[in-house]
Amino acid sequence: MEISLYDTDGRPTMYVAEDGESIYSWDGYAVCYLADEEIYSWRGDHRGWLLDGIVYDLDGYRVGYVREASPHILFAESTKWTKKTKWTKSIRGKAKTRPTLKGFDSRKNLAEYLSHDHP
């Protein structure tokens, strides 16, 4: 089952695929993946965490949510584009130490943040 990820404005922009690991943009690109609760880019860079339905950036701010965890009014989901071929994963870098998690939203855009170094 796919799990939609909403940005801090309540817009669905990313989703976790049926494999429970790959994170796709709404336009069908696999931009990063989950390894337990940690989020990595395809190039192996640690990008953040998905904890209790909340996506945290490396500074501990919230950049996204699953539906059930979002404190925001959510927009309806539009049709997702067909999934494109995934890139080969690079060797994962060392995960950053988890900072104190903040109860505030980041100013970063979820889609841009997670796909910032997308090949």
Structure confidence at residue 117 as a pLDDT band (50, 70, 90): low
Q: In the chain, how many domains are there? A: 1
Residue 119 covered by a domain: no
In a domain, 48, yes or no: yes
Query: pLDDT, tens digit, for every residue of 26-81?
Result: 999 999 999 999 999 999 999 999 999 999 999 999 999 999 999 999 999 999 99
Query: Is residue 41 a contact partner of residue 89, using CB atoms and an 8 Å limit?
Result: no
Tell me if 78 is assigned to some domain: yes
Is 109 a domain residue? Answer: yes
pTM for the whole thing?
0.92
Range(s) of the domain holding residue 43: 3-114
Which of 2-16, 52-66, 85-99 is predicted least confidently?
Answer: 85-99
Residue type, 57: D
67: which 2 tokens?
């539906």
In a domain, 8, yes or no: yes
Please give the C-alpha separations between residue 16 and each of 94, 97, 99, 102, 104, in angstroms, as whole numbers.
22, 23, 24, 23, 23
Check: CB of residue 22 under 8 Å from CB of residue 29. Answer: no
